[in-house]
Amino acid sequence: MLTGLLQAVDEAAAVERLHDLECTDGLPVIVPTEARVARMALAAGLDRDLVLGRMGPAGGIATVEKVAVAAVMAGCLPDHMPVVIAAVRAVLDPRFDLTEMQSTTHCTAPLIVVNGPARQWCGPIASGFGALGPGHRANACIGRALRLAMINIGGGRPGTSDMALLGHPGKFTYCLAEDEEASPFQPLHVHSGFEADESVVTVIGAEAPHSVLFSGSGDDPERHERFLEILAIGLANLATNNAGLRGGAAVVVLNPEHAAILAGAGLSRVQVAERLCALASHPVAELARYEPAFAGKPGTRERLPCFDRPSDIVMLTAGGAGLYSMVMPTWCAGPHRNRAVQVRIDTDQVCEVPGADSG
Amino acid sequence: MRDGIAIARLGIPAVSLVTEDFWPQGDFVAESLGMPDAPRLRLPHPVAGTGEANLSAVAEAIAPKIVEALAH
């Protein structure tokens, strides 16, 4: 057994002990008994002592077993485990800059977007109404498992190692699937080069979702353009790091109705991102007024773009159909400037776990 | 703190500057990286965005301490 064992007289005492040791996210957890952890690790289909990487800022060694501990504590079903493993692999990718992200004063949390068949096999992972809200077990537990891993393996604890000044509620859990069936666009993972029948997590450090209201008029032939403009206003919110620091990434979640407006105008996913990238900018003078340290010296350019390239806008379709889409600004800092990292969900190794949870 | 430790590990004298509010994080990072006694000096908090006059005053106050720490 690689993971240390604690003793407690009963389950309630064990939960209190875990709270006292700062091993929880503040909510009650499922006690990670040896039997439960063994079942969860078995579900990954990987060796328990397989090292996935070192997790910052504490530099803890993320083994399959330790991730299984987090998954049990979070309330995951064994079916969820391949997605949890993929999400952990994603944040351990050096391009994710997890150590820096866990340590920043900014409010950022890893948003997990799931594509492909694992949305059903490992879930169901919700992509429709309230996908980012309560009531969806897989969404709640998978995101929470990643957070508990970041607390107990990565050592991210508020005020000493996780220096977020306020944080945001997505730091408890932040996970949804793309509604590929309701989307008129190519799914996010296919757009990124994966096969449609592959399952993939896209993980990106992101702020809380910001709502974007749009109705427009069906009689307006430029309705799609008005929608792109309002989305770009959301993305280029002058109070965000995307405007102030620039050069990072951001997430756009289109509800199916809004996605249909864009697709109905003949726009592809790439064209939407290109247009948003072109629209999201600010005059240098305006940036200098609020963020003189980041605006730089006046140069030849009158406006500074929020994004360096259209591919930095991560777009997906999810949610119920209606008036509201969402944008998630990001931190935009760290050596890699807050990039999305994609990892294939390995469902080939999955082991079916027999029997009920005997605790 | 991480940079200071990384530089020290290259054999180059280094001292990290840590503001008052981030002192516990400095301890955490130093401990995590296996160098709990990594040299560090305490700055007031905040420093960023406090204006040129204050930054100059902070710099003047800390500069001799940096030199002293590096000389040891």
Q: Which tens digits make up the pLDDT trace of A196-226?
A: 999 999 999 999 999 999 998 889 999 999 9
Q: Respond yes or no on whether ipTM tops 0.85.
A: no
Q: What is the pLDDT of residue A358?
A: 47
Q: What is the model's pTM?
A: 0.93
Mean per-residue pLDDT over chain A, rounded:
94
CB A331 within 8 A of CB A246: no
| Angstroms from A101 CA to nearest CA on chain B | 14
The runs of H, that is alpha helices, within A30-127 are: 34-44, 64-74, 81-92, 98-103, 118-121
Q: What is the pLDDT of residue B49?
A: 85
Q: What is the pLDDT of residue A355?
A: 63
- Ordered by start, the domain boundaries in chain A are 7-203+338-346, 208-329
**Cβ separation A160–B29 shorter than 8 A:** no
Confidence of residue A2 (pLDDT cuts 50, 70, 90): low
Q: What is the pLDDT of residue A302?
A: 87
| Angstroms from A165 CA to nearest CA on chain B | 11
| Residue A337: alpha-carbon gap to chain centroid | 15
Structure tokens of A65?
A: 């077993």
Q: Which tens digits make up the pLDDT trace of A285-298?
A: 899 899 888 877 66
Q: What is the mean pLDDT of residues A327-350?
A: 93
Q: Which tens digits make up the pLDDT trace of A59-93?
A: 999 999 999 999 999 999 999 999 999 999 999 99
Structure tokens of A267?
A: 């726009």
**d(C-alpha A125, C-alpha A139), whole Å:** 6
pLDDT value at B39 more than 70: yes
Q: Does A103 touch chain B (CB under 8 A)?
A: yes
Interface test with A, best of B20, B21, B28, B31 (most A CBs within 10 A): B28
Q: What is the pLDDT of residue A349?
A: 73
Peptide bond into B46 cis (omega under 30): yes
Closest residue, chain A, to B51 (C-alpha): A293
Query: Could you identify the residue written with the tokens 């063994």?
Result: A38
Q: Which tens digits make up the pLDDT trace of A166-190?
A: 999 999 999 999 999 999 999 999 9
